[in-house]
Amino acid sequence: MAEFAYKAKGKDGKVTDGVMNGPSDAIVRSRLTRQGLKVVSISKKQTGRPASSQASGESEGVTSFGPLKIVQNGKGGFQVLFGSGAPSTRDMVIFTKQFATMLSSGVPLIQSISVLAAQQKNVIFGLVLKRLQLDVENGKTLSEAMRKHKGVFDTLYIAMVQAGETSGSIDQILLRLTTYIEKAARIKAQVKSAMMYPAIVVIASIAVISALLSFVVPTFAKQFQDSGRELPALTQIVVDVSDFFRNNLITVFGGVVVVIVGINLYRKTESGSAYFDRFVLYTPVLGDLIRKVSVGRFCSTLSTMLKAGVNLLEALSICAASAGNKRIEHFILYVRAEIEQGVKFSTPLSKDGLFPPMVVSMVEVGEATGALDEMLQKVADFYEEEVDLAVKTLLSMIEPIMIVSIGSVVGFIVIAMYLPVFDMAGTVGG
């Protein structure tokens, strides 16, 4: 007989902790169910015996060489991975949805984790889930075990799971998490698609202009030089730029690389991150898109957490940490500090102009009616549509601007190269 620690929810909704002896967790679960209790979690208590190296997961190790990882799968095989090996958004959505389905179907927590770990194609994620299973078997709650793997489970995920453990409705919480992750991923993909087209056009433009300066202009310049005629000022400028570009090719590209690396390093500093995040928010057109994404994410995250039973102050702290923008993060923390002083949520939210009046009004109504989570979800749904419209607007504006800009540069070079030809034709005609 072994001892099993359990958390169970009674008919009155109160969650109780206890210990029960039994031959297996399935038998203990059955006994608790017959007593009218809904089991939240159940795990075998530690006996004080040190875990073996296999139980601790040491036999299934990961050897890292920078971004390169060699993973031993425990069956004598190895897999080479490049990058962090962290699960993708799709992996997390599938895992969370399957986890919720298994728990709602009555499959024990440990067994659910074991089954999901065994079927993971991402080897590192599979190892994380096995260690999760071991920690839960050794008496930790699921949220406590997840805190050891913050590279996989973010603060929001862990807080939601903890709220589910407390309320005894972890399966429902996981389903809400699935919806939230899917929506967040969809919005992120929309923003990426909006940025992808300009990036491709800029790279293609740089390649075309570089080719013109490196090969086309020098050919014309040689012919003009052989003619012995003085070049027009516009043509001479283009030829000089071409000569400088060809003679200092490594310096030019090296300088570009240094500038890009320098900007990225500065962005990683506290002051640099704050400056760039503020700059992006107030950039015409793009800033409007980023602000809508941020407001929508804030409302969606806060609504999801309030529905899960997380208190407002804790939820705001997590919203700040997951804001993705330092300017908005600092403002959310300011709002939280004001609420701690007894101020209504909507009052500090209306300051600074970061949140539109419509959002503030909806929050105020939610506070008055006691349906803040529902109001925030409606705002999140509204901004999801607004982001889609903003992406289309941004693309419709960028496309003609990029075409005109690139056409102007290429046209300038072509006209500059043909000016001497026109001069010679005029001389001959005269």
State the pLDDT confidence band at 326, using cuts at 50, 70 and 90: confident
Q: What is the pTM of this model?
A: 0.65
Residue type, 121: K
76: left (phi over 0), alpha (psi -120 to 50) or beta: left
Question: Does residue 27 carry a pLDDT above 50?
Answer: yes
CATH number for the segment(s) 182-430: 1.20.81.30
- Any idea what DSSP says for residue 355? S
> Own/partner pairs for 152-155, CB < 8 Å, 24+ apart?
152/86, 152/87, 152/125, 152/128, 154/322, 155/318, 155/321, 155/322
Distance CA 22, CA 3 (A): 7
Q: Report the helix count and the strand count for the chain, using DSSP H and E.
A: 17, 6
Mean pLDDT of 19-30: 71
What local confidence, expressed as pLDDT, does residue 259 receive?
94
**How confident is the model at residue 120, as a pLDDT?**
86
CA pair distance 190, 187, nearest whole angstrom: 5
56-65, 276-285, 398-407 — which is least confidently predicted? 56-65
Segment 86-110 mean pLDDT: 88
Q: What is the mean pLDDT of residues 334-352?
A: 91
Spatial distance between the Cα atoms of 333 and 315, rounded to a whole number of angstroms: 11
Homologous superfamily in CATH for domain 62-153? Type II secretion system (T2SS), domain F (1.20.81.30)
Domain coordinates in residue numbering, the chain:
2-44, 62-153, 182-430
pLDDT for residue 53 is more than 70: no
Nearest alpha carbon to residue 345 among 384, 388, 375:
375
Higher-confidence residue: 75 or 394?
394
Q: What is the pLDDT of residue 32?
A: 77
Band of pLDDT at residue 24, cut at 50, 70 and 90? low
Q: Which residues pair with 42 in a beta bridge?
A: 6
Q: pLDDT band for 320, please (50, 70, 90 cuts).
A: confident
pLDDT at 37: 78
Mean pLDDT, residues 7-24 taken together: 75
**pLDDT-based confidence at 287, cuts 50/70/90?**
confident
Lookup result for tokens 């929050």: 363
Q: How far apart are CA 292 and CA 77, in angstroms?
A: 47
Per-residue pLDDT reduced to its tens digit, 195-212: 787 888 888 888 888 888
* Selection from 185, 415, 193 nearest residue 300 by Cα: 185
Which residues 6+ apart lie within 8 Å of 217 measured at CB?
A: 238, 239, 242, 413, 417
What is the per-residue pLDDT for 335? 93
Non-local CB neighbours of 61 within 8 Å, separated by 6+ positions: 71, 72
Answer whether residue 429 shows pLDDT above 70. Answer: no
CB burial of 48-64 (b: ≥16 within 10 Å; e: otherwise) equals eeeeeeeeebeebeeee
Tokens 């309030």 -> residue? 306
Element (H, E) at 179: helix 170-211
Q: List helix spans (H) across 268-311.
A: 270-281, 286-307
pLDDT digits (tens, 9 = 90+) for 162-191: 888 877 788 888 888 888 888 888 888 877
C-beta neighbour count of 104 within 10 angstroms: 14
pLDDT at 46: 57
What's the mean per-residue pLDDT of the chain?
82
pLDDT at position 85, please? 60
pLDDT at 60: 46
- Across 76-103, average pLDDT: 75
